[in-house]
A and B are shown apart, each in its own frame.
Chain A
Amino acid sequence: MQTVSTRKLLKRPLWPSRITAWLLLGALALQAPARADVEGLALHGFASVYYTATGQQNAPEGNTGFKLDNLDLYLAPSLSDHIRALMEDVVEFDDWHAPGESNGQPVIDIERLQVGYVFNDDVTVWIGRFHTPYGYWNTAFHHGAQLQPTVMRPQFVAFEDHGGILPAHMDGLWATGRAAHGPGRITYDAYLGNGQRILDGALDMQNEGNADAHTAFGGRLGYEFRGGALDTLWIGLHGFDEQVDNFVSGVMTAATNVKVIGGFFHWTPGNWELLGEYYGFQNRAHDGSGPSHSSSAWYAEANYTFFGLITPLARYESDRLSQDDGYFQYLQGGKSYQRELIGVRYDLTPQVALKLDGNHTDATRDGGQAYNEMHFQVAVRF
């Protein structure tokens, strides 16, 4: 039967096919001039793998061996002269688990999903999930390991699911821009969004609605110098304010008003790159019981690039986090530490960076460990 049907099909007049072909051709011909001017949606991104040797014991990320960092897919279609979209999807891997449990299963995180309206060069307003504009690192390197000088972000600036103590992502509205002022430019960011909560020791930005009905808000104000001895220096202040609730097995165990004020700078005199960030916390239990708790975190880094290829670097990180603070008590990364780090980056090609760094970390102040660590990373972009 099938043979007969096929023959019947083959004996069908050809004209419907021809009409279809001509219609296709017509469509192609009409499209041709326009398509030549249309830039297709390119898929770009980053990927990185690394080797870690660490003296840290029994910590979520403390295990010697080869590690898959992430696969970062980045889409940024320009939808019109004024409307932009930005999507960054990252495949990353669960933290280390105890023997007998799954160790590093891949998970997909929609790290950024934002749509923006560009009013003019000075004002863009985004809605969606974005990287919270504080300090320098969080909105400079994002998830692109190939761009950042070191293997890892400063520990306290790490993303929420890697032990960071700051809300690296925010679901909400964000206005950003720059305006010429004197010889340089004023930069500004203002945002509001869903308040964060702490789940399983990590900040959660509530992607599916503000269930806790707490609004987070904050901003960053800076100045970029142009010309003179301070050319390229970007310096500024940042801060945010929100109520963060901690949940254990669905039960709220703490509610903390988190207030942060700090500053940052980034400067590239010649082949130097100098950067640093400071965060001062004044947190207090939401019900007003007890005093406010002061904590601080900061880092400073310097690197120098030889011939655009070799970049030795040094960084110092330190935080002093109150363990009486309901915010830090429940965060996985909420322990004080200090870290001295040295390293080198070598750009094997414009697309491939090799990075080697070593650090000594002392987290004994709050009962943690003191250990040495080494990372070797291969980071690519495409």
Chain B
Amino acid sequence: MSATFQRWISCLGNAWPRRALLYVPFALALCLPGTGAASPRTATWGDDSGLEWQDEHGASTRLSDWRDRTVLLTMAYSTCREVCSYALHRLEELQQSADHAGTPIEVIVISYDPAVDSPGTWTIYRQHHHFLRTNWHFLTGSSAATRQLAQDINFPSWRYDEHVVHDFRILRIAPGGQIAGSLDWATRNQDFFRTTSITCPSSDPGECKP
């Protein structure tokens, strides 16, 4: 019995009386894939999404190249001023926090606007904004790849002429490619790498609380 059929059966339950047949189409409609609101795919690049990118040096790369590393990822574009500037400012702070915690990370910034952002554009952007660490990567892909990734990892945006209007969002990707955490505007001040201090009110180690 296929998984899909099992899913249908579980949705239908024992509702087989004749009149209940009337409701079968609606039950099936609820069970059919694709009829509900689209939900973003779980982002993993352990299995590689197949999307190709160019880094700021023009080298071809895939996100799965960092599958064994802890990654901070956001989307931005080089002519953006407010939201992107804040996101990159927070990435700098998180980088310092990761350094302090001794956690090696990779920082990936993917362009929302591949029509404007080329590897050369990102190179200049890095220089002018002093994002020069070698573990920071500014990627550009095709329009299709950009749309696909933004949808998969839930970075919505809309265009207002030359502006790509978007919100603040940073993802923490664990080794293996699973999303281990995210920052949005409401949680923007949280720190992925803050080390929890252990307090021991007495000499009894059993009373120590993280």
Interface residues of B in 95-153 (CB under 8 A from A): 115, 120-121, 124, 128-129
Shortest Cβ distance from B85 into A: residue:
A308
Q: Contacts A28-B32, A270-B129, A273-B81 given: A14-B22 contact, CB under 8 Å?
A: yes
* B118 to A, closest residue via Cβ: A226
By the criterion CB–CB under 8 Å, are A381 and B86 in contact?
Answer: no
CB-CB nearest in chain A for B28:
A25
For chain B, the count of residues having a C-beta within 8 Å of the partner chain is: 39
Contact flags (1/0) for B1-27 with A, using CB distance below 8 Å?
000000000000000000101100110
Q: Complex: how many Å from CA A261 to CA B11?
A: 70
Interface stretch (choices A2-10, A15-23, A161-169, A207-215): A15-23
Is the beta-carbon distance between B124 and A33 smaller than 8 angstroms? no
Q: Does A227 contact B (CB under 8 A)?
A: yes
Q: What 1/0 mask marks residues of chain B from 28 to 69 whose CB sits below 8 Å from any chain A CB? A: 110011110010000000000000000000000000000000
Band of interface residues on A: 35 or more
- Report yes or no: B160 in contact with A44, Cβ–Cβ below 8 A: yes
Contact B34 A44 (CB under 8 A): no
Other-chain contact of B124, A24, A142, A226, A349 (Cβ < 8 Å): A226
B194 within 8 A of A: no
By a CB distance below 8 angstroms, the chain A residues around B185 are 349-350
Q: Indicate if the CB atoms of A271 and B25 lie closer than 8 Å.
A: no
* A140 sits at the interface (CB 8 A): yes
Q: Which of B82, B165, B167 contacts A305, CB < 8 Å?
A: B82
Most A CB within 10 A of own CB, among B34, B124, B161:
B161
**Residue B209 is within 8 A (CB to CB) of chain A in the complex:** no
Does B173 lie at the interface of the complex (its beta carbon under 8 Å from any beta carbon of A)? no
Contacts of B19 in A (CB 8 A): 14
Complex Cα gap A246–B138 (Å): 55
**Contact A350–B120 (Cβ < 8 Å):** no
**In whole angstroms, what is the CA distance A74 to B159 when docked?**
10
Docked Cα-Cα span, A231 to B126, in Å, equals: 12
Contact B25 A309 (CB under 8 A): no
- Per CB-CB distance, the 4 closest pairs between chain A and chain B, nearest first, are A308-B86, A308-B85, A32-B34, A25-B25
Please give the residue numbers on chain B whose beta carbons come within 8 Å of chain A beta carbons, in ascending order. 19, 21-22, 25-26, 28-29, 32-35, 38, 79, 81-89, 115, 120-121, 124, 128-129, 158-163, 165-168, 185
